[in-house]
Structure 1
Amino acid sequence: MEITFDVAVLLFFVALLAGIVDAIAGGGGLITIPALLAAGLPPGAAIATNKIGGIAGSAAATLHFLRMRQIDLKRSRRMMLATFLGALAGGIALTRIDGGVLRQVIPFLLIGFALYFLLSPRVGAEDRAQRLTPALYAATLAPLIGFYDGFFGPGTGTFLAISCVTLLGFNLVKATAHAKLLNLCSNLASVLFFAASGHIVWAFGLPMLAGQWIGGTIGARLAVTRGHQLIRVLMVIMAVIVSVKMLLE
């Protein structure tokens, strides 16, 4: 499928904006997938192609968080593998299972999370006692959220960040950093699966890859410098937007 220069430039800037939002609070797919649909891609190809930009944005954000020492790779290795395998299983299941139940349940979960953060302004302000060890998180939540991302996707970054705050005891900046690391693993699994199955339209995906790489870097910088207040506000906003969009659909 061919792409004109004007459309490529538009997709680049759309992806740049999505990368900034996604690195801070998740939900960048709400910006990029409609743009791909408007550019003429069918829904399946749009979702698959969107993962190209997603992997660039999450990789750029992860690299910045690593440089800022917000990620503990040693403690995260099991969680990374579990998320990757979960997303791979989710991508395979996508071709065989109806996602209708998820579409009905997820909006209410996200609204609940948004209210929790809105009504608890000190949540994520600083580290606190963990409720799960990284090993137990890797055995339970990580593969489930990875599966969700590979199978459906909206709100994955929010789920990861919230679970890192509430279960692993991270502050919001550190939780966002680890969410991008795990999201990178789930995006990688999805890209490998969709590329092998031939669903990705590379002519559309490559301009978005460049845009989300830059946007992911900018968003990660803002998350580190502006702290948990910026993340909390954007996380609430994006959780509500994702929920409303899914309920309307």
Structure 2
Amino acid sequence: MDLSTLMLLCVFAFTAGLVDAIAGGGGLIQTPAALVLLPQYPVATIIATIKLPSFTGTGLAIGQYIRRVRLHFPTAVLMCITAFGAAFAGSALLTMVSSRFMKPVIFFILAGVAVYTYTKKNFGEHTTKPYSRKKQLWYAFLISLVIGFYDGFIGPGAGSFLILAFIALLGYDFLHASANAKLVNMATNSGSIALFLLKGTILWSVALPMAVCNGLGGIIGARLAIAKGNHFIRLFFLCIVTATLLRLAYDVFVKN
């Protein structure tokens, strides 16, 4: 691999980190770029390699959010532990079967998400949910379990699904939903990385420079989200969901 290819991958990694820190969806940028620019490597090796940049960007974005957004840490710890195990299991399954059969289902679910978010103008404003602490923890556990497994197994739109779930089920606004989604995303990336480390499939000479660039993008993206607030994140969220839909539509209706 030549230096120009690595530089292009780093540019894509930076952009992915910035986008992902705001509304999820960084994988839509980083993953296709890596697949196109590194055609000589197996797909599993490429997916394993780009998990490290995703982890770095997410971790540095969390650092920005924690300084300015109040999080409930017992809930966060529960979600991270659950998401780690779920993503590990999802990635393990990915090494044995294809995830292609799930893409049409995810496409139609995301289409509904986009329409609902666009038409419901107050979606993502803080809403107090009349739940007991036990029920809130139960919902948090289910969200991290299901979407954590999904992220390890297939991936596209996982960050957007987390934001949607935190808003719809736990009553978070967009800013708090984004902050919590980054925590869970870091755990899912950790679970996948743990599996790929055991498999020995990470290209470190590619992963480490991309990780630096993704991390820088994550810091800038998180600061933008915090400074601009809910309205900005809502619009960005809609853009990312639409981009995910277009990507899935290509995979489902054109590529096949």
TM-score (structure 2 length as normaliser): 0.91
Structure 1 residues 170 and 125, CA gap change in structure 2 (3 angstroms):
same
Superposed, 1:2-17 pairs within 5 Å as: 3-17=1-15
User: Match for residue 250 of structure 2?
Assistant: 248
Report which stretch shifted further, 189-198 or 173-182: 189-198
Q: Structure 1: how far apart are the matches of 2:23 and 2:220?
A: 13
User: Match for residue 114 of structure 1?
Assistant: 114
User: Match for residue 202 of structure 2?
Assistant: 200
User: Match for residue 45 of structure 2?
Assistant: 45
Alpha-carbon RMSD: 1.6
Aligned length: 247
1:217 aligns with 2:219: yes
CA deviations 1:142-183 (Å, max 9, x no partner) are 111100001110001001011000111111100000000000
Q: Structure 1: how far apart are the matches of 2:110 and 2:67?
A: 30
* Contact 1:130 1:169 survives alignment (8 Å): no
User: Match for residue 67 of structure 1?
Assistant: 67
1:72 deviation in Å? 2.1
* Contact 1:76 1:134 survives alignment (8 Å): no
* Contact 1:57 1:216 survives alignment (8 Å): yes
Structure 1 residues 156 and 131, CA gap change in structure 2 (3 angstroms):
farther
* Contact 2:11 2:213 survives alignment (8 Å): yes
Letter in 2 for 1:77: V
**Is the partner of 1:167 in helix, strand or coil?**
helix
Letter in 2 for 1:29: G
* Contact 1:79 1:134 survives alignment (8 Å): no
CA deviations 1:172-228 (Å, max 9, x no partner) are 100000000000000011111112112211111111100110000111111111111
User: Match for residue 27 of structure 1?
Assistant: 25
Letter in 2 for 1:201: L
* Contact 2:5 2:37 survives alignment (8 Å): yes
Q: For structure 1, which runs of at least 5 residues remain unmatched after alignment?
A: none
Q: Structure 1: how far apart are the matches of 2:98 and 2:10?
A: 32
1:130 deviation in Å? 5.6
**Is the partner of 1:200 in helix, strand or coil?**
coil
Structure 1 residues 58 and 128, CA gap change in structure 2 (3 angstroms):
same
* Contact 2:75 2:140 survives alignment (8 Å): no
Report which stretch shifted further, 71-80 or 107-116: 71-80
Superposed, 1:31-180 pairs within 5 Å as: 31-40=29-38, 41-129=41-129, 133-180=135-182
Q: Structure 2: how far apart are the matches of 1:130 and 1:156?
A: 26
User: Between the two proteins, what is the percent identity of the paired residues?
Assistant: 35
Letter in 1 for 2:6: A
Report which stretch shifted further, 200-209 or 167-176: 200-209
**Is the partner of 2:129 in helix, strand or coil?**
coil
Q: Structure 1: how far apart are the matches of 2:98 and 2:46?
A: 18
TM-score (structure 1 length as normaliser): 0.94
Q: Structure 2: how far apart are the matches of 1:7 and 1:70?
A: 40
Runs of 4+ in 1 over 4 A off after TM superposition: none
